[in-house]
Amino acid sequence: MKKLITTLTNIWKIEDLRNRIINTLLFLLIYRVGCHVVLPGVNPDALVTQQKEGLLGILNMFSGGSFSRSAIFALGVMPYISASIVVQLLGIAVPAFQKMQKEGESGRKKMNQITRYLTLAITIVQAIAYVKTQIEPGAKTIADPMFTILSALVLTAGTLFVMWLGEKITDKGIGNGVSLIIMAGIIAQLPAGIAQEWASRMSGGGGIIPLLIEGIALFFVVIFTILIVQGVRKIPVQYAKKIVGNKQVGGVRQYIPLKVNAAGVMPIIFAQAIMFLPMSLGQFFPTLQSDFLTALTDFTSIEYNVTFAILIIAFTFFYTAIMVNPQQMSEDMKKNGGFVPGIKPGYDTNLFIDNVISRITFPGAIFIAIIAILPSIASAAGVNNQFAHFYGGTSLLILVGVVLDTLQQIESHLLMRHYDGLMKTGRVKGRSAVGVEGYDKSAI
């Protein structure tokens, strides 16, 4: 306890870190306030009894409950995530986008600008669909078409503002802003989920025993999730000895820490964004509606869970390929006189690292997919649907991943200024692993 108090005191002593934490909290507070501001022309009393189930319930959770409240932030950051997916896929398939990716900072700025414009287009479409399908006629106090035009404009402006908040949190705060905004929305729904599960169990759902079993099972699921997120495969790297003046330098063994889940929470977020497409198609094109598309909007259906798992596995490999570059790693080692024992420098090292990444990414992606579909299993076992979203699944993966990433950000600030980190005994992975000189360890 004394050690924790000392560490928290050290965090407050570092002015830059203190300002970043305060900025993050203030930006998240602004977001949470906006989640309770109802759209102009909507009667809040008519929305009190609305409940979102299935995929709409997941979207409502990601938006911090603003989806069911018809708030100005009802669409959240999902349009921005959808736009990011499209742009990154274009970066693989379209030569012009590939060229921009290789242009460094200038290319990144161009792609970010394209992402923003695409976000605007997607948001306008989703805003109109939301107004037409999710707001009941009895809740409208302004006649159409003025209500639709006004609400679509406000929803679009709200999403763009949330996107701006996410960028500001990334720039001025701690961690990935978009992930933190999604995490804030998920945590805001947790108390209500626990309260509903408690009420259902105490009012004839088995009493305290099933509730304790659920709590114990959830604890082990969290531990297993942390193990997967923090799992690291260390590749030994030997550096050649050099004589500099009268001193001998080098000759030490270090490690490249390759994470089992190098892609973090982004594959889950991307896969979830893709799973919203069938719902959008059904709203805009009723003639395309089918039993299969209907099943894809129900998170408890077999079709939904199989599709969701496949998307997570695919996006895990896709995002890992973007985040980790074996060729760059082998070149950095060669430049600094390093080599993997028993492997020739250059192409062989590149191939070896690529094979290791493939071997550890596949089981990692499988386990993440299993965790992602646990809510449907929990729901089938009798757990309340709202609480089941936290029982593994996207919610838990995002919460664990974002919390650990944020802890790593804080830990790096502390260690950079020669303070003890947050995890002195049970470290956040990455602290004890030594990366290859000249390579950005945060990328892996």
The CATH number for 159's domain is: 1.10.3370.10
pLDDT tens digits along 218-265: 888 888 888 887 888 888 888 776 666 666 655 677 888 888 888 777
pLDDT tens digits along 418-443: 665 555 544 555 433 333 333 333 33
Of 43-47, 182-186, 195-199, give the lowest mean pLDDT range.
Answer: 43-47
Same domain, 99 and 248: no
Of 76-80, 96-100, 143-147, 205-209, give the lowest mean pLDDT range.
Answer: 205-209
Of 143, 173, 203, which residue sits at a domain end?
173
Of all residues in the chain, the percent with pLDDT exceeding 70 is 83
Task: Give pTM, 2 decimals.
Answer: 0.73
Mean pLDDT, rounded, for 172-193: 84
Mean pLDDT, the chain, rounded, equals 79
Of 70-74, 135-139, 235-239, give the lowest mean pLDDT range.
Answer: 135-139
Domain presence at residue 429: yes
Burial degree of 72 (CB within 10 A; 0-12, 13-18, 19+)? buried
Same domain, 161 and 81: yes
Mean pLDDT, rounded, for 67-73: 85
Same domain, 122 and 246: no
Of 145, 173, 201, which residue sits at a domain end?
173
Same domain, 102 and 208: no
Higher pLDDT, 431 or 49: 49
Same domain, 221 and 333: yes
Whether 162 shows a pLDDT value over 50: the answer reads yes
Residue in this structure with the two tokens 């600094």, named with its chain if needed: 336
Higher pLDDT, 58 or 145: 145
Strands 338-339 and 253-259: unpaired
Same domain, 277 and 382: yes
Domain presence at residue 256: yes
Whether 1 shows a pLDDT value over 70: the answer reads no
Q: How confident is the model at residue 48 (pLDDT cuts 50, 70, 90)?
A: low
- Token pair belonging to 331: 């070149």
Domain presence at residue 109: yes
Domain presence at residue 147: yes
Same domain, 169 and 200: no
User: 250 - beta bridge partners?
Assistant: 241
Same domain, 127 and 203: no
Domain presence at residue 8: yes
Mean pLDDT, rounded, for 404-427: 68
Same domain, 268 and 397: yes
Domain presence at residue 298: yes
Same domain, 78 and 197: no
CA distances from 82 to 78, 122, 177, 270, 388 (A): 6, 8, 16, 7, 25
What's the pLDDT score for residue 118?
Answer: 92
Same domain, 129 and 248: no
Residue 320 neighbours by CB distance under 10 Å: 24
Of 13-22, 284-293, 351-360, 425-434, give the lowest mean pLDDT range.
Answer: 425-434
What's the pLDDT score for residue 251?
Answer: 61
Domain presence at residue 280: yes
Higher pLDDT, 239 or 129: 129
What's the pLDDT score for residue 224?
Answer: 85
Of all residues in the chain, the percent with pLDDT exceeding 90 is 8
Whether 127 shows a pLDDT value over 50: the answer reads yes
Distance CA 310, CA 64 (A): 27
What's the pLDDT score for residue 431?
Answer: 39
Mean pLDDT, rounded, for 40-68: 71
Whether 277 shows a pLDDT value over 70: the answer reads yes
Of 30-34, 124-128, 356-360, 413-417, give the lowest mean pLDDT range.
Answer: 413-417
Q: How many domains does the chain have?
A: 2
Domain presence at residue 179: no
What's the pLDDT score for residue 436?
Answer: 35
Q: For residue 359, what are the domain limits?
A: 185-444
Mean pLDDT, rounded, for 25-33: 92
Of 108, 141, 173, which residue sits at a domain end?
173
Same domain, 189 and 156: no
DSSP codes joined into one string, 171-182 = HHSSS-HHHHHH
DSSP 240: -
